[in-house]
A and B are shown apart, each in its own frame.
Chain A
Amino acid sequence: MNLAVNNQSLMLALGLVVIALAIGWKEKLGIDRDMIIGVVRAVIQLFVVGYLLKYVFRLNNIWLTAILILIIIFNAGYNAKQRSNGIPNALPISIGAILISTGVTLGVLMLAGAIKFIPSQMIPISGMIASNSMVAIGLCYRNLNAQFRQERQAVLEKLALGADLKDASREILRDSIKTGMQPTIDSAKTVGIVSLPGMMSGLIFAGVDPVRAIKYQIMVTFMLMSATSIGSVLACYWAYRGFYNDRKQLTV
Chain B
Amino acid sequence: MSLIELQHVGYQVDDTPILQEINLTIDAQEWVTLSGPSGGGKSTLVRLIASLLSPTSGTLLFDGQSVENYDPIAYRRRVSYSFQQPTLFGQTVRDNLSFPYQIRQLPFDEERAVRGLAYVGLSASDLDKGVNDLSGGQRQRVALLRNVMIYPEVLILDEVTAGLDAENKAFVWSLVEHFNQDDNLTIIAITHDQAEIDAAKRLVTIENGRIVGGA
Contacts and interface: CB of A to CB of B under 8 A. Distances in A.
A215 interface: no
Interface in B119-166: 146-147
Nearest to B89: A154
Interface stretch (A73-81, A82-90, A162-170, A193-201): A162-170
B103 A159 contact: no
A122 interface: no
Interface in A139-156: 153-154, 156
A203 interface: no
A250 B86 CA distance: 17
A247 interface: yes
A154 B76 CA distance: 15
A161 B51 contact: no
Contacts of A167: 102-103
Interface residues of A, number: 17
A76 to B, nearest CB: 36
A160 B73 contact: no
Nearest to B87: A154
Contacts of A54: none
A61 interface: no
A158 interface: yes
A187 interface: no
Contact of A247 (B51, B81, B83, B89): B51
Contacts, number: 58
Nearest to A248: B72
A156 B83 contact: yes
A164 B103 contact: yes
A111 B53 CA distance: 51
Contacts of A158: 89, 99, 103
Contacts of B215: none
A249 interface: yes
A156 B52 contact: yes
B190 interface: no
Contact of A248 (B73, B80, B81): B73
Given A247-B54, A249-B53, A250-B52, A160 B68 contact: no
B73 A161 contact: no
A162 B77 contact: yes
Given A249-B51, A249-B54, A160 B81 contact: yes
A83 B100 CA distance: 35
Nearest to B104: A162
A246 to B, nearest CB: 9
B74 interface: yes
B87 to A, nearest CB: 4
A47 B186 CA distance: 73
A99 B147 CA distance: 43
Interface in B79-127: 80-83, 86-87, 89, 99-100, 102-104
A181 B52 CA distance: 33
Nearest to A155: B87
A163 B80 contact: no
Interface in B37-52: 50-52
Given A153-B87, A158-B89, 10 more contacts: A158-B99, A160-B80, A160-B83, A161-B100, A162-B74, A162-B103, A167-B102, A248-B73, A249-B51, A249-B53
Interface of B: 50-54, 68, 72-74, 76-77, 80-83, 86-87, 89, 99-100, 102-104, 146-147
Interface of A: 153-154, 156-164, 167, 171, 247-250
11 contacts: A157-B83, A157-B89, A160-B81, A161-B99, A161-B147, A162-B77, A167-B103, A248-B72, A248-B73, A249-B51, A249-B54
The 5 lowest CB-CB distance pairs between A and B, nearest first, are A162-B77, A160-B81, A248-B72, A162-B76, A154-B87
